[in-house]
Amino acid sequence: SGKSTLGRYLLNRLLSRHKEVWVLDADVGQAEFTPGGLVSVTSVTRPLLGPPHTHTAGTQGLGVELVQSVLMGDVTPETDPHRYNKCVSHICDFMLREAAVRKVPVLVNSSGWVKGLGLELLTHLLAKSAAT
């Protein structure tokens, strides 16, 4: 509980120090910027002041732009964990390469599922995203 609020707070704090922040959104069930079922990277250049439906990627003038996305095709990774990990690997490879070139900080949004299979998926995400 409070994961999304904390994520928005951290993002807004990063924006006070950087003109752009990328968000790697691996929460296919409750994505911050896109419809469910996607693993995505979104560029944010303006503070987020409301719930997810107020800052959908692609809405002009909000400072939120979809950079890259991969279709998982479901709102839970439990149905096909192998596909979910492939999506995470693909988006992380892209993100690490491009974020390094653009010198932009990246905030990672994961699901709140941290037991059993959820922990395995989270461990994969952390390893692939090189989160620190």
pLDDT for position 11? 94
Dist CA 126 CA 92 (whole Å): 10
pLDDT for position 5? 85
Prediction pTM value:
0.88
The per-type count for the chain, helices as H runs and strands as E runs, is 3, 4
Question: Nearest-CA neighbor of 58 among 22, 33, 26?
Answer: 33
Enumerate residue ranges in the chain where pLDDT < 50: none
With b for 16 or more beta-carbon neighbours within 10 A and e for fewer, the 4-30 pattern comes to: beebbeebeebbeeeebbbbbbbbbee
Please name the amino acid found at residue 77.
Answer: P
pLDDT for position 29? 93
Classify 85 as helix, strand or coil: helix
Dist CA 32 CA 10 (whole Å): 14
Tokens of 98: 């491009």
Work out the angle at residue 128's Cα, subtended by the Cα atoms of residues 123 and 24, and round it to the nearest 5 degrees: 95
